[in-house]
C-alpha cells in the first residue's frame, strides 16, 4: 500500500457535542426530550452507523439514556446533526429537572458509544464530552 492510500484510510474516531436540548413533552410521571448532537467525522471517507447510544447527566445528575438504531451516514470531513429522543421519569432526576425547567442553559455530561462501519472494518467508538447547552421548550 502506498503512503497516501494508507493516510487516506487511516481511521480517526468521530466525536460528538451536545448542541441543544428540546423539551418535547411533559406529564405527571415524566417527560421527553430531543437531544441535538453535532457529530464530526474527521475521516476522508463516509462512516456508516447503525447504533448510537448515549447517557446524559444534566446539572451533575444522571438524567437518562437514549439510543437510535437506524442507519446514519456521516459524510467525510464534516459535521452532521443527529437528533436523539430521550424519555425520563421525574423520580431520580431532581436538580437536573429543576434546572431544565427554570434555566435557559444547563451543564451537561455526555457519554456513550457509536458503532461505525469504515473501509477498515466495524468499530465501536467511545463518545465523551461535557459543557453547557441551551434548552428550548417545544412542548408549548
Q: What percent of the chain has pLDDT over 70?
A: 85
Would you kindly state where each structural domain of the chain is located, as residue ranges?
A: 10-137
Query: Which of 83, 103, 105, 92 is CA-nearest to residue 30?
Result: 92
For 10-137, give the CATH class: mainly beta
Residue 44 DSSP symbol? S
Residue 57: all three cell numbers together: 447527566
Q: Which residue has the higher pLDDT, 35 or 134?
A: 35
Q: What is the distance between the alpha carbons of residues 130 and 55, in angstroms, rounded to a whole number?
A: 12
The reported pLDDT for the residue numbered 139 is: 47
pLDDT tens for 84-122 read 999 888 876 766 667 666 777 888 999 999 999 988 899
Of residues 14, 20, 34, the one with CA closest to residue 131? 20
Q: Which pTM value belongs to this model?
A: 0.84
Amino acid at each position: 500500500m502506498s503512503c497516501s492510500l494508507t493516510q487516506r484510510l487511516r481511521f480517526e474516531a468521530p466525536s460528538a457535542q451536545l448542541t441543544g436540548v428540546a423539551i418535547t413533552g411533559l406529564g405527571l410521571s415524566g417527560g421527553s426530550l430531543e437531544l441535538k448532537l453535532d457529530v464530526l467525522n474527521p475521516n476522508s471517507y463516509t462512516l456508516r452507523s447503525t447504533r448510537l447510544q448515549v447517557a446524559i447527566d444534566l446539572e451533575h445528575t444522571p438524567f437518562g439514556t437514549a439510543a437510535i438504531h437506524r442507519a446514519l451516514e456521516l459524510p467525510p470531513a464534516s459535521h452532521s446533526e443527529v437528533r436523539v429522543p430521550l424519555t425520563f421519569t421525574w423520580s431520580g432526576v431532581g436538580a437536573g429537572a429543576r434546572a431544565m425547567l427554570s434555566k435557559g442553559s444547563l451543564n451537561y455530561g455526555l457519554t456513550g458509544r457509536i458503532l461505525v462501519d469504515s473501509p477498515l472494518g466495524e468499530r465501536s467508538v467511545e463518545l465523551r464530552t461535557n459543557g453547557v447547552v441551551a434548552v428550548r421548550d417545544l412542548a408549548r
